Amino acid sequence: MSTPLPPEAQQDAPLDGQVVVVPGGTGNVGEGIVRAFLRAGATVVVPGRNQERLDKLAELIGPEPGKRLVGIRAGYGTFAECTDLADRVVADHGRIDHVVPSIGGWWRGNTLWQVDEDDWQQHFVDTTTAHLAVARAFVPRLDAAGSYTLIAGFAGRQAYPQARIISMHAAAVLMMREALSADLRGRRRVNNLLLGPILNRSRPHGDPSWLTADQVGAAAVAVALAPSVRDESISLGTVAELDEQLARLRA
Ligand SMILES: NC(=O)c1ccc[n+]([C@@H]2O[C@H](COP(=O)([O-])OP(=O)(O)OC[C@H]3O[C@@H](n4cnc5c(N)ncnc54)[C@H](OP(=O)(O)O)[C@@H]3O)[C@@H](O)[C@H]2O)c1
């Protein structure tokens, strides 16, 4: 028998009137997160450094759901950029209910001692700085009933072959979530999704047990709708694990 949904999750648009910000929404995983929040009725704000990538996202989402998609051509890689961005979202929309940062991508190299300075800067320093910049600008502006859900990969739990600096970045994001939870002490809901490999527009085929980007989005919406879920690392390695987590989150 399927698990009954709570009343708000049974609505067609349970997040109607809410404002969700997805830094990294132009990316492969971010696209699924953006689509899921739009389907749940939210206004979804996606900042991006590159107009072409914002236009591509709007095209992928389509005109009808895209009516509530707000692309903003703006960087969020520095503290100052992020403060400006968060102020702008509050000024334009009056509130920020949920933030789901899905920042950074993949990189392959060789041993850790062969990493060059450009790769380190791009795949560890810049992406980790962007995550902290987003957290320090958006967490204090979050609605009291809102949520902050970081996206990280299992690479953060094991030193991934030929992708050690991605593992180091993901480990930093996981610890950032723990640090935010420790500092907030329950005043805001902070969680992270811990992902295995994801099927997405750049990698449409793979092991059938892997989640799709849209399923990551469904999990992020379920977390946003579950007021009792806080300070958790939610493991989503396989579709079977997703089904278990959704049943729990929606119970
Ligand atoms: N794809 C997977 O299979 C998978 C699996 C597990 C975990 N993850 C995690 O999910 C997150 C997103 O991955 P993805 O596959 O969606 O990556 P992606 O397609 O490369 O997208 C990365 C996103 O991050 C944004 N970004 C902002 N600042 C950045 C910076 N300094 N460097 C790089 N990107 C920056 C990009 O925005 P712009 O449009 O401004 O460039 C883009 O929207 C990452 O943390 C990744 O580790 C992904």
Concatenated DSSP letters of 124-189: IIIHHHHHHHHHHHHGGGS-TT-EEEEEEEGGGGS--TT-HHHHHHHHHHHHHHHHHHHHHTTSSE
Q: Is residue 2 part of a domain?
A: no
Instruction: Give a yes or no: residue 1 inside a domain.
Output: no
Q: Measured in angstroms, how far is the CA atom of residue 3 from the centroid of ligand 1?
A: 33
Q: What pLDDT does 32 receive?
A: 98
- Dist CA 179 CA 35 (whole Å): 29
Average pLDDT over residues 13-34: 98
The band of 1, judged by pLDDT with boundaries at 50, 70 and 90, is very low
CA distances from 166 to 144, 162, 173 (A): 33, 9, 11
Assess if residue 207 is contained within a domain.
yes
Rounded mean pLDDT of 51-55?
Answer: 98
Query: How much is the pLDDT for 174?
Result: 98
The answer for 109, left when phi > 0, alpha when psi is -120 to 50, beta otherwise, is beta
| Residue 134 located in a structural domain | yes
The CB of 153 under 6 Å from ligand 1? The reply is yes
Residue 43 lies in a domain: yes
Segment 138-148, tens digit of pLDDT: 999 999 999 99
Residue 36 pLDDT more than 70? Answer: yes
Instruction: Give the domain range for residue 61.
Output: 7-249
**1 CA to centre of ligand 1 in angstroms:** 37
Q: Please, is 83 exposed, middle or buried when counting C-beta atoms within 10 Å of its C-beta (0-12, 13-18, 19+)? A: middle
pLDDT digits (tens, 9 = 90+) for 190-246: 999 999 999 999 999 999 999 999 999 999 999 999 999 999 999 999 999 999 999
Q: Write the CATH number for 147.
A: 3.40.50.720
Domain contains 106: yes
Percentage, residues of the chain above pLDDT 90: 95
Evaluate if residue 2 carries a pLDDT over 80: no
Q: How many domains is the chain built from?
A: 1
Give the number of the atom of ligand 1 that is nearest the alpha carbon of residue 210.
3
Among 209, 211, 179, smallest CA distance to 194 is for 211
